[in-house]
Structure formats: structure tokens, C-alpha cells
Amino acid sequence: MLTYSFENRGKKSLYMFLYEQIKQDILSGTLKAGNKLPSKRALAKHLNVSTITVENAYEQLIAEGYLYTVPKSGSYVSDITALNPFKSRHDERIPTGTFIREDRTKETYFADFAGNSTSPDTFPFKTWKKLNRITMTDCVEDLMIPSPPGGINILKEAIVFHLMDFRDIQVYPSQIVIGAGTEYLYNILIQLLGRDKIYAVEDPGYQKISHIYHANNVPCVHVPLDKKGIKIDALRKTGADILHISPSHHFPTGIVTPISRRYELLAWAMEQPDRYIIEDDYDSEFRLAGRPIPALQNIDSAGKVIYMNTFSKSLSSTIRISYMVLPDELADRYNQELNFYNCTVSNFDQYTLYQFMVKGYLEKHINRMRNYYRVQRDTLLECMRAQPHYAKVTIKEEHAGLHFLLEVDTKCSDEELVAKIAKKGIRISCLSEYFHNKKDAKKHTLVINYSGVQPERIEEAVDRLFAGIFGD
Amino acid sequence: MLTYSFENRGKKSLYMFLYEQIKQDILSGTLKAGNKLPSKRALAKHLNVSTITVENAYEQLIAEGYLYTVPKSGSYVSDITALNPFKSRHDERIPTGTFIREDRTKETYFADFAGNSTSPDTFPFKTWKKLNRITMTDCVEDLMIPSPPGGINILKEAIVFHLMDFRDIQVYPSQIVIGAGTEYLYNILIQLLGRDKIYAVEDPGYQKISHIYHANNVPCVHVPLDKKGIKIDALRKTGADILHISPSHHFPTGIVTPISRRYELLAWAMEQPDRYIIEDDYDSEFRLAGRPIPALQNIDSAGKVIYMNTFSKSLSSTIRISYMVLPDELADRYNQELNFYNCTVSNFDQYTLYQFMVKGYLEKHINRMRNYYRVQRDTLLECMRAQPHYAKVTIKEEHAGLHFLLEVDTKCSDEELVAKIAKKGIRISCLSEYFHNKKDAKKHTLVINYSGVQPERIEEAVDRLFAGIFGD
């Protein structure tokens, strides 16, 4: 009969130890397919353990398929073929305590003009924490009701009022879909609009958009810009169905598409029923001069514009809440075809953001941030003007907010420029990096993203930047 | 010269009002393309406002493209063609106060055996709230550093230890990708594994999986099951490359795939380099009898299994945090091809969950929930046994946790059964609903999901259920 010593079982329970021993004998071939095991009572008596111990061990082996039972006969070893190719990985124990900590690559630079993160000092932690606490105290039941696919209705309603106040856009909550970041929403849009469409993006532009289209294997074309934005004739030549743009503040050139071109773009979209324009309005709240530029959605009465925006820009890039406004026809299609998807934003975040909005904190925060960014920009510009080499640079598009362009009079290639500046501890990107068609690429133009730079480092950062550009 | 009365401007600033008036005149055609506007000083004097007011209004109109400037000449009206087809939507003001509140369809049922939500009483609010507060006090800087694409490293590390403890699985943090729900991760997997692959799902099975494949336009085949799970010969016939299964607890049949079939499945995957098995281990923590069934990943030494699990099941369906464990080769591919995607889970949730795990709360919570579900199930079974018609039902797979099957001796069709039960205020689903190939569908079998039913309602819910089944 099967004999096992329980001496070395350590802290394991008797039944667990017995289960492991028998399993090992099956895996090693000591117990062969078809072998009958002793009855529970007999084995219990033989091993001097309780019947319940053997029963538990047998049941686990049966549940996992190592044993099978024949009614009124007993337990037998299963046929476990194809075993040999599978070696055990259990020897390769993971050494504990060797795990990597969070990546702090940012820290290797003195200042980062290439990233788009926000400074920790600007996030309204105290308010967010308070509202979080209120949410978890007052909304206990609501928090446990699964969110509708497009987001909770009261948050959608808050977004409707926000869009009215900030963008003069009038939409219904039923048109809104909330998701964990615009990248996620682009994925949903591809499923909604179809993979048989040709998607057009701006050249130059935010490269991640085309990465997403490529990862999804949908045709993606790059349309050049003139001073007013997308070139209509070039757009027509591509045969595009869907156009993806940021008409109110193009990244990285800062171009604002004027009203005449906007009507031309809408007219293009209206020529075919399947044509749509995705309007990415990512930083419209932060225009630093005059009123915000109206959204393209604002003049679209034909249901051709899909409006997208994110709270990651106005609050923090580490909070993942974005939304899109679908034209009625697409909203209906979404509800018919894609509403099986659960909302990707947790209820906790949705209810907290809802409170943040309806209690007026978002508006206050945006106003505060607009001032903060204005001071950032003014300080930057002032420090630049004080540089001895200031005459060799030209600043462009400095009113748009969050970034501007710095044209440099230099003979260095863009790669050399970036490398020289990096040596001074400054991370920067060039306008040319954002061009798909490299022969059109505008050279010697730096993109200055200032949203994430610590205010107290600006002066030294500018010194280093200019030392990098004009030093050896 | 342009003349506007400022009397009716309400609360608007002078410049805003002037901007709107001029814009209106351009849109209506009163001011025509090419018309020259008066100089700022002249108009200011004429309207009796300050020059700065006119300057601000002009600048906004220039920024939006309604006007353009000719250096040393002045401001001119832009050519806004293609205007006529666009009617103004501004008349259709949204009536405020008419928005819908949260959908509480659940409330229309006395008890819901078809949903998979969790009861609000079971979520550890107090602890989660406390950890949330600690996170927002102690991790301020960390919270503002963008998460790596696959999630923050310390949470991945916590998941590694959790998998060791609960599933005896040994993996490295670098293999883990965290995302906002398994549905999102399936979308990422399609992009990782390729659209040229054939994806196989279980028939019967969780229908949402095939919806996702269809929404992504990838070929999806349905493979029938026998008592051990996926039929290998049927699988071969489909020509599938990727197999999507829940071997440790199939939904809704409750089948546990035995070890022999697991080896056969792994052997199938090893025949071709591009074959992979997606193991959805969604409720493995909640097996109510014996030890948990080991994961398929556990015996995979060839890097063929993609392991998936979610915290939505163990914590709350309204918290969207799931993860997958990629074999090394796929983890490398993910890092090369898809790491441009931002993590879809906010840092706040990631750090809170991290603390919840390393401080031992998750383990405690799972143990508490296992007991809670055991009591739920036992109460349910007891109430069923007390029913006069108990002899006409057969209970199956009641040890698996979270759901079991109830075979009913009846002449009603499944649709009639569901309708009769609904009339008694009980929402329920039938096993047959989960079959793709309806001719294989097993009839007269109800799926009893008990995780979301309120304990105090169980007794009456069972009375109503049986009244629905066996009443008129």
C-alpha cells in the first residue's frame, strides 16, 4: 500500500501534504494510469490519519483530474499523457527583494521640456481627497451599481454643462462616452467607424495617434498642413474617410484653423455619408490670450464632428478620464453595437470628478492653472530675453498655452541640437520629430512644453538650454 | 461706420459683446469678405469705448479667422464660403433640469440571479477609504509620475506575490500588464497577437468575449465542450490559433478541465509557434470546496499561456483593475510594439490597490468573501431543499463558487421559464442562452449567480423562483 512519512510536511496540513505526495507519484510515474488507489478508510488506517484527511486529498486530486472515480469501485489514476515535454518551472524560484522600484527617469534631467506631465504642486490634492472621502461616505450604494457603458449619467450631465460654459457647445448627455483616456476612446472609435475606412492625421502631428491606427491595422494617411491647418486638396488626394485634427490648437505647430478653413473641412465631411472629423480639443481651456477659440463642433449642424477631450490635461495626466461627444447617428450606433463594453473608468473616479465639477472646483482649478501657465510662460520668455544669444532665436505661437516654438539660428542638425541640450541636463524635442514626411520637416525649431517644469528651476533651465544650443 | 448699441449686453464684457456683434454681422453677410474694418482708435471713439476694448474684440476675431490683417493697412473680413449649408443650432437650447438620473433597472427586480455585481455590504469601504487617504497624503509625488504602460512596478510586484500565494504561479513583474478591465486587455491582446489569427472561444461560454472579437473584426470560432472542457478534435477542425478558455471554472457550466485535458491543450498549443491559450481565471479565488484548482499557467513551461485575472470580481465590479501575465516572448513584443499606450488605470487606484494588497487586506477580504459566498450558497440550497417541488430540480456544480446550475423538470421552453420567473420579480438566465450552436443547447437549466443577491432576500427570492418555475 501507498506509504508516506508525514515527518517533513512542515507547516502544511496533513491533507495538503498527502495530496502533494500522491500527485508527485502520479507525475513521476510511480503511480500509473489505471492503477487503483486504496480505499479511503484503508489508506487512513495504514497512514494513521483520519479518513477525512484522505478524503480531502482524494477529492482535490479528483477535482484537478489526477484521479477519477468509478462508482461502487473506487478511485483510479488518470491517464496523463503528453507530460514529458513539460518541465517543472518550480526550481526557478523568484529571488525576493530584487524587484525594481518605480522608474524615475525624469529625475535624470534637470528639466523636461519634452514631456507633458503636470507638476505635483498644481494638483488640487486637498479638494480631491475631501471629495473622495465624501463620495465613499455618501454614495456607497451608487458606487456599487455598475456604470452604464458610456459613463454615469450625472457625470455626463456635468460634462454637458461644462461644455456649455467653457466651449459654448450644446450637446445631450446621451451623446457622451466616458473612457479611461483618449487612447482607449480612439480604439472604440475604430470599432465604431469601421476598419474599412481610411484615417487621416495631421503631418506634423502627435505621433501616438498614428501609432494607435497602425496597432489596429487600419489604413492611416498623413496630410500636410499649411498656415491654416489641413490642406484640403492634399486631404482629397488621400481618399480619407475620417479626419483626425486639433483645429483649435494644433500640436506641435500651434496653428489655429481659421473659420474659413473650418467650413471647408465641414463641407468636405458633408460630401459623403461616412466621412467624419475627430476633433481633439485637448488643451482648449488653456489658451492664454483672449477668449478660447470656439470648437469645430460648435458650427457643425450636420452631425459630422466627433468631439474629444480629456481631464488628464486639466487635472493630472495620471488621472485617466476622457470623453467623446458623438453625433446622434453615431451615438445610436454605439448603443446598438458597442454598449456591451463596461465603462473603463471606476465609479469612484467618476463620482469624485462629478462632485469636483458640480461644486465649481474644476472651473476654479482651470482658472488657477491658466494663471499658473501664464506665469510659467512669462517667466520663461523673460529669462530667454535676458540671454546674450536672444537675438538668434525667434519665439512663435506663445499665446496658445502649454507649449510654444523656439526657432534657432544654428548650423547644427536637429539631432546634434537635442544631444547638446541633453548634455546640459535638459530634455527637449524638435518640431522635425513630429513630421511623418521628413522632407517637409521644419528644421531648427524646438518645441517648448512648459507645463511640467518646476517654476523654481525655470531660470537655470533656460540658462542650460541656451548653453546647450550655443555652447560647444 | 459700424454702430452697435451696448445697452442690451447684459453681463457680458464690452469686448465680448462687441466681438459677438461683429461676428454676427460677418455671419449674416452684413459685413462682406474683403470689407475693411475701421481702425481700432476710430471705432473706439465712435462707440465711446476704450481702444483696448476694440483691440481685444478684433484680436479674438483674428484668432478665430473671421478677420485678417494686412500689415500697415488694417483689418479685413475673411472669405467665409460654404457657410449656407450650416444652420445655427443655437436655437435648440437644451432644457435644463430634464436630465435622466442613474439607471436603477436592478431595482425593478426583487432579486437578480443573472447579474454579476457584488453587494454593497461586502466591499471594504472603510479600509479602502483609509488607504485612499494614506495614498493621497504619502504618495503625492509618486501619484504625479506617469505610470509605466503596463502599470506601476510596485503593484506588479504585489500581484506577483499574490499569484504565488493564491495560485502557486511564479512569474516576473515584467510579464504583467495592468489595465482597466479584462475587456480592455482583450483589445490589447488582439493588437499583440494579430488580426490574421483565428480566435476560438468556448461554446457555451461568456458571450461578451465573442462580442469583443466581432467588434474587432477578427475571425472567431466557437468550440463545443465535453465533460472535460474544450473538445480537442473539434478545436483542430476550426483551424484556430488562439484559444480562449476558463479551465479552472468554466462559466456557465462550472466544468473544471482535468489535468489530462490540460496537457492535451498545451500539447495542441505547442504544435505551432503562433498558438497561444488565453486562460481567464476570473473567479479562481472563490472555489468553495477543497483547495483552489491550479491554473493552467502553472504547468506551462513553454510560454504558451496568457494568464488573465481581475480585481473587479474579488473587490467590486465597479473598480476597473485587471491584469494579464504574458509569456516572456509576448512581454517583449508588448514592450516593443504597444508600450506607447498609457496605462488605463489611474495612479490613485493603482497605489490604493497596492497598499490594499501588501498590507494583507486583499487576503483577508478574499477569505471573508469566500465565507460570505459559502453562506449565500448554503442558505440558497437550504431554502431550495425546503421547497415542495424540490424533487423536480437537480443542483449541479455547487462547489465552484459564485454560481451553480439548477436543472428543472418542466415542459416549458426556456423563454417561457425566464418570463414566468421574471413575473415573480426574479431576473434569471438559462444555460441555453450561452450556447452559440443552439442545437447543442442544454435545455431547462437555470444559471444561479448568487454573488449579488442580498442575503436577507434569499429566502423570499427562492420562494418566488420556485413559484415562477412551477406556478401557472
Q: How far apart, in whole angstroms, are the C-alpha atoms of residue B159 and residue A67? A: 31
| Most A-contacting residue of B96, B342, B397, B454 (CB-CB within 10 A), to test interface | B342
| Residue scoring higher pLDDT (A201 or B32) | A201
| Most B-contacting residue of A102, A134, A266, A334 (CB-CB within 10 A), to test interface | A102
Return the C-alpha cell found at A81: 499523457
User: What is the reported pTM?
Assistant: 0.84
pLDDT digits (tens, 9 = 90+) for A94-127: 434 334 444 444 457 899 998 777 776 788 888 9
**Cβ A300–B154 below 8 Å, yes or no?**
no
What pLDDT is stored for residue B88 in this prediction?
38
In chain A, how many H helices and how many E strands? Answer: 16, 16
User: Is the predicted pLDDT of residue A384 greater than 60, yes or no?
Assistant: yes
A460 burial (CB, 10 Å; 0-12 / 13-18 / 19+) is middle
Q: How far apart, in whole angstroms, are the C-alpha atoms of residue A280 and residue A272? A: 21
| Residue scoring higher pLDDT (B149 or A69) | B149
Q: Which residue of B has its CA nearest to A98?
A: B157
Q: Which residue of A has its CA nearest to B68?
A: A258
Max mean pLDDT among A212-216, B68-72, B166-170 falls in: A212-216
Secondary structure (DSSP) of B287-338: --SSSPPPPGGGG--SS-EEEEEEHHHHT-TTS--EEEE--HHHHHHHHHHT
User: Is the predicted pLDDT of residue B436 greater than 60, yes or no?
Assistant: yes
Q: How far apart, in whole angstroms, are the C-alpha atoms of residue A180 and residue A193? A: 19
Element (DSSP H or E) covering residue B153? helix B153-167
pLDDT digits (tens, 9 = 90+) for B340-385: 999 999 999 999 999 999 999 999 998 888 888 889 999 999 999 9
Return the C-alpha cell found at B291: 483547495
User: Is the predicted pLDDT of residue A255 greater than 60, yes or no?
Assistant: yes
What pLDDT is stored for residue B107 in this prediction?
56
The partner residue sitting opposite B260, judged by closest CB among A78, A117, A123, is A78
What pLDDT is stored for residue A402 in this prediction?
84
- List residues bridging with B306 in a β-sheet: B278
User: Is the predicted pLDDT of residue A84 greater than 70, yes or no?
Assistant: no
HSE-CB at A80 with a 13 A cutoff on CA atoms is 30
**Cβ A187–B187 below 8 Å, yes or no?**
yes
**Cβ B256–A342 below 8 Å, yes or no?**
no
What pLDDT is stored for residue A431 in this prediction?
94
pLDDT digits (tens, 9 = 90+) for B227-281: 999 999 999 999 999 999 999 889 899 888 998 899 999 999 999 999 999 999 9
pLDDT digits (tens, 9 = 90+) for A347-362: 999 999 999 999 999 9
With cut-offs at 50, 70 and 90, classify the pLDDT of residue B9. Answer: confident
Q: Which residue of A has its CA nearest to B259?
A: A65
Distance of CA B411 to the CA centre of its chain: 38
Output the average pLDDT for chain B: 88
What pLDDT is stored for residue A470 in this prediction?
92
* Residue (of A246, A249, A232, A302) closest to A278 by Cα position: A246
pLDDT digits (tens, 9 = 90+) for B378-394: 999 999 999 999 999 99
Question: CA angle, B334 as apex, B330 and B338 as ends, to 5°?
Answer: 155
Percentage of chain A modeled with pLDDT above 90: 55
Q: How far apart, in whole angstroms, are the C-alpha atoms of residue A219 and residue B55? A: 45
Q: How far apart, in whole angstroms, are the C-alpha atoms of residue B124 and residue B356? A: 10
HSE-CB at A163 with a 13 A cutoff on CA atoms is 27
With cut-offs at 50, 70 and 90, classify the pLDDT of residue A172. Answer: very high
What pLDDT is stored for residue A56 in this prediction?
86
Chain A CB within 8 Å of residue B90 CB: yes
User: Is the predicted pLDDT of residue B412 greater than 80, yes or no?
Assistant: yes
| Residue scoring higher pLDDT (A288 or A63) | A63
At residue A149, φ and ψ (nearest 5 deg) are -50, -40
**Cβ B256–A211 below 8 Å, yes or no?**
no
Q: How far apart, in whole angstroms, are the C-alpha atoms of residue B346 and residue B132? A: 13
CA distance B133 to chain A (A): 7
**Cβ B145–A216 below 8 Å, yes or no?**
no
What pLDDT is stored for residue B472 in this prediction?
67
User: What number is the ipTM of this complex?
Assistant: 0.82
DSSP, res B114 = S
The partner residue sitting opposite A94, judged by closest CB among B83, B172, B258, is B172
Q: Which residue of A has its CA nearest to B315?
A: A144
- Region of poorest pLDDT, from A197-201, A310-314, A428-432, B397-401: B397-401
pLDDT digits (tens, 9 = 90+) for A27-62: 888 888 888 999 999 999 988 899 888 988 898 888
What pLDDT is stored for residue B451 in this prediction?
85
What pLDDT is stored for residue A81 in this prediction?
58
User: Is the predicted pLDDT of residue A268 greater than 70, yes or no?
Assistant: yes
**Cβ A293–B266 below 8 Å, yes or no?**
no
What pLDDT is stored for residue B101 in this prediction?
43
Return the C-alpha cell found at B149: 504602460
**Cβ B65–A257 below 8 Å, yes or no?**
yes
**Cβ B106–A145 below 8 Å, yes or no?**
yes
Q: CA separation (Å) from B290 to A321, B294, B401, B455?
A: 42, 12, 12, 24
* Residue (of A103, A100, A99, A119) closest to A111 by Cα position: A119
Domains of chain A (ranges, CATH numbers): 14-91 (1.10.10.10), 111-116+364-470 (3.90.1150.10), 124-359 (3.40.640.10)
With cut-offs at 50, 70 and 90, classify the pLDDT of residue A91. Answer: very low
pLDDT digits (tens, 9 = 90+) for B297-341: 988 989 999 999 999 888 887 889 999 999 999 999 999 999 999
Mean pLDDT to the nearest integer, B220-227: 96
Percentage of chain A modeled with pLDDT above 70: 93
